[in-house]
Structure 1
C-alpha cells in the first residue's frame, strides 16, 4: 500500500482511497465519464475543476463549502470577489452528484466528488494519476469573508501567498508545485493588466516581462475597461498538463505577477529551474502536493454531513 492510499490525520481522523469500494463501487466510473464529457464539450473545464478544488480547500478546508449557494443565514464563497464571475464548472459537480444519488444515495460527499473531479481533469489533460484518499464529509456553512481573506491573490507578494499556504499545513514547495496547476487554463485580463500598462503605478509596463509576450498580451488585453474580462492563456499549452509553465517563468514569460515572483526568490527559483528541466519530477511532485492539499481541514466521521445537493445543506 502506497503512503497516500491511507493517510493518517491528527486526532485519529483518517481517509482511505478504498472508502467507497463497497458502498459505491461505480463512483470512479461515474466521475471519470462526467469529467470526460465536460472536457469534450469545453476544454477549459479541466482548469476550472482544478481551480475550484483549490479554492475549496484553501478556504477553511476541503469540505465542499465553495459549492454552497447563499442563504438567509450566510453569504457564501461563490460570490466572493475571488470567485464571482470566475469560478465555473458547478454544473459538472451537480451532474456527478445526480448520477451518484441514483446509484448510491446519500453516500458520497460533494467534497469527495470535487476532489476526484480535479484528479480526473488533470489525468484527462495528460497529467499524472494518483490515488485519492476519500471519506471527506461536507460542511454545513460557508463564508464570503473567509474566501476574501484566505484565497491568494495574483498581485500579492510571494511572502503573503506562502503564509496563506503554510497556515493550511502546506509549505513553500507546495506553493511552487501547486502554482504549476497554471499549466492549464486562462486568466481574465484584469488579473494581470497592470503589468501591461501601469506596473506599480509607474505608468509603464512591468520591465521584467518579455517584450514579445508584452506586445502579444497588450493586443489581447487593450487598456480599456471593456477588455477586463478578456481571456489570455496562462501558458502556451493551456489545454495540456506539462511543465511549459515553468519554462515560461525561466524566460520571464509568466502571465501572473504571483507566478513570475517564483523566479525572483532564490529558494523558489531553484525549484522552478528543476521543474522546467524535468516534466517527470513536476508530475510526481504535483501528485504528492495534490494529496496534501486534499487533506486540508477535512471533516470525517460524524462531523458535517453528506449533502443530497451540493449547492445546499440538507434540511
Structure 2
C-alpha cells in the first residue's frame, strides 16, 4: 500500500507545483509599472543602448545571462547575486564562469533606482535589458510582461545541475528544456541565439583535440573547420575565443542554422540538433528560407515563454536595492 501512495504524492506535488508556476506567470503584465515607474522602459533602453552601441558583444552576453538565470530557480535574478564567505553563488559556478555583462545590469539598476526607488526588480531589469540589447544589434523585439520579484537564494551547485552543458545530445537537451516547460521547437529556436557571441576555446578543446581519448576530433565536425579551430585554439591557450557563428557572430540572423548543416556547429549540443527529426526539420526550414522573419517571430515567442519560467510574483521574493546583494531585512 505504501509503495503506491508515494508515487501518487509525488505526482500530486508536481501537478500543484506546475499550477503555481503557471499562476505566477499569468500575474506578469506589460503595464505592471505604468503608475509606479512610467519611464522604466526608456531608462532601460537608453542605458543598454549606450553599452551595446560601444560593445555589441554585450548583446550576446546579456542573452546568455538571461538564459542562465531562468534555467536555475526560474527568472529571479539569482544569477546576479555575488558569493559570500558562507555561500558560493550561481555566478561562480563552472557553467557561469565566463558570464559577462554584470556591469550593464548594475548601470541600468542604478539609473532606475534614481527615478523609481525600490520599485523595479532586478529580474525585470534583466529581462528588459536582454530584449533591448538584442534589438539594438538588429535582432527581433518582443513584449516583456513584468512583475517578477527577485529571489533570495543562489547556489552554485544548482547551476551545475540545471544548465544544459555544451556536450549534451538531442535527447538530453529535449529533456532539459521539457523540465522548464519548453518545447522541442523552443529548444531549436533558443539555440539560434548562438548566431551572436563568442566562446572560450576551453569549451571545445576536447572536441577538436581528443574526442575519444586517442587524439582525434569529433567526426560530426567539418575537417576544414577543425583545422580553423585548431589554429584559433592552439594548446594551451584555452582562454582564446572563437565565434559562435563563423563570420556572422555580430549579426542576429539565421546564419547559425546554415553553419549547422555545414557541420560547423561549435558545440556538440549545436550539432545534436541535426540528430533528431523534429529539430533537424526546423533547422533545414531556415536554411531553405531566404528571410529571417519567421525565425525572428519564433525567437520572440520563445523568449516570452522563457521569461516566464518559475517566476516569483506578489509577496514571493523581494525587490533588491542592489542586484548583486540580497536585501538585509
Aligned to 2:104: 92
Which secondary structure state, in structure 1, belongs to the residue aligned with residue 96 of structure 2? coil
Q: CA deviation at 1:10?
A: 2.8
Q: Which residue does the alignment assign to 2:73?
A: 60
The secondary structure found in structure 1 opposite 2:140 is: coil
Specify the alignment match of 2:175 in structure 1.
163
Query: How much does 1:73 deviate?
Result: 4.3
1:277 aligns to 2:288 (yes or no) = yes
Q: Report if the CA contact (8 A) 1:196-1:218 is conserved.
A: yes
1:19 aligns with 2:32: yes
Asked if the contact 2:21–2:309 (Cα under 8 Å) also holds between the matched residues in 1, the reply is no
Contact 2:197–2:249 (CA<8 Å) still a contact in 1?
yes
User: How far has the Cα of 1:80 moved from its partner?
Assistant: 0.2
Q: Is the 8 A contact 1:74 1:141 kept in 2?
A: no
Counterparts of residues 56-205 of structure 1 (less than 5 Å): 56-84=69-97, 86-205=98-217
RMSD: 1.4
User: Which residue in 2 is equivalent to 1:306?
Assistant: 319
For 1:187, what is the secondary structure of its paired residue? strand
Please state how far the C-alpha of 1:216 moved relative to its aligned partner.
Answer: 1.2
Relative to structure 2, which stretch is displaced further, 183-192 or 161-170? Answer: 161-170
Name whichever of 158-167 and 294-303 sits farther off.
158-167
Over 3 Å counting, the alpha-carbon distance change for 1:93 and 1:231 in structure 2 is same
What residue is the counterpart of 1:293 in the other structure? Answer: 306
Q: Partners in 1 of 2:275 and 2:30 — Cα distance?
A: 38
**Aligned residue number for residue 230 of structure 1:** 240
The answer for the alignment partner of 1:5 in structure 2 is none
1:89 Cα deviation after fit: 0.5
Residue by residue over 1:203-255, the C-alpha shift from the partner in whole angstroms, topping out at 9 and shown as x without a partner, is 21222212221221111011x12x11110000121111000000110111111
Q: Post-superposition shift, 1:266? A: 1.6
Partner Cα distance (2:220, 2:180) in 1? 31
Query: Would the aligned equivalents of 2:177 and 2:187 in 1 still touch at CA under 8 Å?
Result: yes
Larger CA deviation: 9-18 vs 190-199? 9-18
Q: Which stretches of structure 1, 4 residues or longer, exceed 2 Å deviation after superposition?
A: 8-13, 71-74, 275-278
Would you say how many aligned residue pairs link Structure 1 and Structure 2? 305
Unaligned runs of 5+ in 1: 1-7
Counterpart Cα distance in 2 of 1:277 and 1:295:
31
TM-score normalised per structure 2: 0.90
C-alpha contact (below 8 Å) 1:189/1:230 kept by paired residues: yes
TM-score w.r.t. structure 1 length? Answer: 0.93
Give deviations 1:150-202, integer Å, cap 9, x for gaps. Answer: 01100122222221211111111111110101001001111112221212224
Contact 2:62 2:100 in 1 (8 A): yes
SS of corresponding position for 2:212: helix
For 1:240 and 1:97, how far apart are their aligned partners in 2?
27
Cα deviation 1:40-88 (Å, max 9, x = unaligned) = 232211100000000000011000000001124432101000011x001
Distance 2:22 2:130 in 1: 25
For the Cα contact (< 8 Å) 1:307–1:314, is it kept in 2? yes
